[in-house]
């Protein structure tokens, strides 16, 4: 992976210390990092994940709306933040790599540097009781 901008390096360091699940993607839609709390929801350690592109997220982690209807990968909050450069929030059900379903809420934000350079997107997510 190419050297990341300093802002992404600092965000990764910040995410390492957060209790909330954090997922970071670069401007090209490639996974940069997800933290340990995210690993417990995704059922996959970050260092075992390999390269993940935004287009692959829905295939790797099947996702539905709370009513069970499928959610298109383009409608995932992190993908919307990347492609539409706008904040996005959703309640979702996600199947981890072990096969268990998790009810989560996700908020994703586009990341733009002070110089107006697009850095990527960040998603913060947490399990909820339904």
Concatenating the DSSP letter of every residue in 68-97 gives S-B--GGGSHHHHHHHH-S-EEEEEEEE-T
- Residue 123 has a pLDDT of 98
pLDDT at 2: 67
The pTM (predicted TM-score) of the whole model is 0.92
Instruction: List C-alpha distances in Å: 120 to 22, 23, 30, 105, 128.
Output: 13, 11, 9, 20, 26
The predicted model gives 31-55 an average pLDDT of 94
Residues 20 and 34: beta-carbon distance below 8 Å: no
How does 42-65 read in b/e, with b if 16+ C-beta sit within 10 Å?
bebebeeeeebebeebbebbebee
Compute φ and ψ for 29, nearest 5 degrees. 85, 20
The answer to whether 117 and 104 are in contact (CB under 8 A) is no
Q: How confident is the model at residue 87 (pLDDT cuts 50, 70, 90)?
A: very high
Burial class (CB in 10 A: 0-12, 13-18, 19+), 97: middle
pLDDT over 80 at 56, yes or no: yes
Mean pLDDT in residue range 35-45: 96
């Amino acid at each position: 992976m190419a050297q990341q901008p300093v802002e992404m390096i600092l965000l990764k360091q910040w995410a390492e210390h957060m209790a909330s699940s954090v997922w970071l993607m670069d401007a090209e839609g490639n996974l940069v990092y997800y933290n340990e709390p995210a690993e417990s929801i995704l059922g996959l350690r970050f260092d075992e994940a390999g390269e993940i592109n935004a287009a692959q997220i829905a295939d790797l982690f099947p996702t539905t709306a709370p009513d069970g209807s499928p959610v298109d990968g383009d409608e995932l909050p992190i993908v919307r933040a990347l492609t539409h450069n706008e904040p996005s929030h959703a309640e979702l059900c996600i199947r981890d790599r072990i096969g268990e379903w998790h009810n989560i809420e996700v908020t994703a934000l586009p990341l733009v540097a002070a110089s107006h350079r697009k850095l990527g997107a960040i998603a913060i997510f947490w399990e909820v009781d339904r």
